[in-house]
Structure 1
């Protein structure tokens, strides 16, 4: 019986040591989002049009009445999403093609892909892009030298 108690006691010590190790794991670093002052300005007509195209009747409830979400969308459109034209040497790298990204048609099932790319009329909200990456990412627009760069929100 003495051996049995010794085994139970050793098992108890072993399990306790796992609990102590788990509690001393490294802390996760908190990184705050850095907003520029331009997110405090009202939406432009172009921005509102892009939002309404994607969110339709839910625009008020989902975006306009939610100040935090509205601020994130403004930050995306004004500061973090850029359309770039890159040279030939950059085209050899493998980037996700825009045609491989699903449409974000949850609020508007009639949403369609752009048949022709227009740098100035392009609506990045239409696509289910990774809008909150931890590092900058690129998407290539099919058949063009243009790329969508989404910058990390922590820069």
Structure 2
């Protein structure tokens, strides 16, 4: 019995050392806490609720509205992190993924469809599988236009 306890303690010790070592060797800089602007305290606008209903349908309450943290994340995304840019000068345009290459986020609503024409005032970014939670900012180009969708990282906007 004593030998068994020693073996378990030794194994536990090595696991702890390995875990600490793995954390120290991370190549990623530590992330600062996400700070939300004051505007995330305001309730969802009618347009924002429409965007959410389109994407989440009958699951809206369960996934978003009954989760305060998720509400903050969505409000922060829609209000502070997404920007639409019109860049007419070709020399200023960056190569980036086209909107048509981004799949639809249809996990909750299989009837989602792509917009036929881009209108930044009516565009629902929640419909698309954008990389909203990457460490860096992301940019996508709207096909056939000079419009770009910039999604700022939640860690440095």
TM-score (norm 1): 0.82
| Structure 2 Cα separation of the partners of residues 82 and 103 of structure 1 | 19
| Residue 46 (str. 1) matches residue 53 (str. 2) | no
| Structure 1 Cα separation of the partners of residues 139 and 58 of structure 2 | 31
Aligned to 2:71: 70
Structure 1 gap ranges (5+): 1-14
| Structure 2 Cα separation of the partners of residues 24 and 69 of structure 1 | 28
| Structure 1 Cα separation of the partners of residues 101 and 119 of structure 2 | 18
Aligned to 2:21: 22
CA contact (8 A) 1:133 1:151 kept: no
The structure that has the greater radius of gyration is 1
Summarize deviations over 1:12-44 as a string: whole Å, max 9, x none: xxx9xx95x936834762420111010000000
Structure 2 gap ranges (5+): 1-13
Aligned to 1:110: 111
Within 5 Å, which residues of 2 pair with 1:65-144?
A: 65-87=66-88, 88-91=90-93, 93-144=94-145
What CA RMSD, in Å, does the superposition of the two structures yield over aligned residues?
Answer: 2.2
CA 25–104 in structure 1, closer or farther in 2 if over 3 Å, else same: same
Any runs of at least 4 consecutive aligned residues in structure 1 with deviations exceeding 2 A, and if so which? Answer: 21-28
Aligned to 1:10: none
| Structure 2 Cα separation of the partners of residues 31 and 66 of structure 1 | 23
CA contact (8 A) 2:87 2:146 kept: yes
- Once the 2 structures are TM-superposed, how far is the Cα of residue 46 of structure 1 from its aligned partner? 0.4
